[in-house]
Amino acid sequence: MEALAPLVYDQLRAIAEAYLRKERPDHTLQPTAVVNEVFVDLLRVRRLSLKDRAHFFTFAAQLTRRVLIDSARKAKAEKRGLGWQRAPLDAELAWLGGETAESLDLSKALNDLAEFDPVKTRMVELHYFLGCTVEETAEILEVSSRTVERSLHFSLAWLRRRLA
């Protein structure tokens, strides 16, 4: 973990910054906190054997999603839904706040998608939660860019229907 942290920390922090810039102004999450929580979760895993870059970023995407969902659950428990509004799901999932009830619904829908097709879920996590480009996602998962585009298109339609 000591060797890994310096190699990926700046990239994960930049992704978190970009994600959180799209949040509402009064959100409580900070990029450093999100990345630090991901690293704390990585350290909690007793037997972590990362095979390659793809495996790490897939796992990091899942951990990032968990950090955001945990934050949303905490906020929901505190507010019990006061003042939140439904927002439509569109092609840019990254805008979806980490502290909203919608992100809890999205998390459940992504879990359902993972049961249906785990690879498509990994693509969504890498592209929208970690901010990887289509090309980076394709490289990490060792598929073509066109496959990623088609899979993301399908996944978004599937998620829209699930959330409707």
| 64 alpha-carbon distance from chain centroid | 5
Tokens of 100: 């909203």
CA–CA gap between residue 6 and residue 4 (Å, rounded): 6
Residue 90 pLDDT: 46
Average pLDDT per 10 consecutive residues for the chain, totaling 164 residues: 81 75 70 86 75 79 78 66 49 47 77 91 86 88 94 92 85
| Count of positions (residues) in the chain | 164
Query: How is residue 135 written in tokens?
Result: 């090309």
Task: Please tell me whether residue 11 adopts helix, strand or coil conformation.
Answer: helix
pLDDT at 89: 47
Tens of pLDDT, residue by residue over 17-42, are 766 676 666 667 788 888 888 888 88
Q: Is 124 exposed, middle or buried (0-12, 13-18, 19+ CB in 10 A)?
A: buried
Q: Is the pTM of this model over 0.75?
A: no
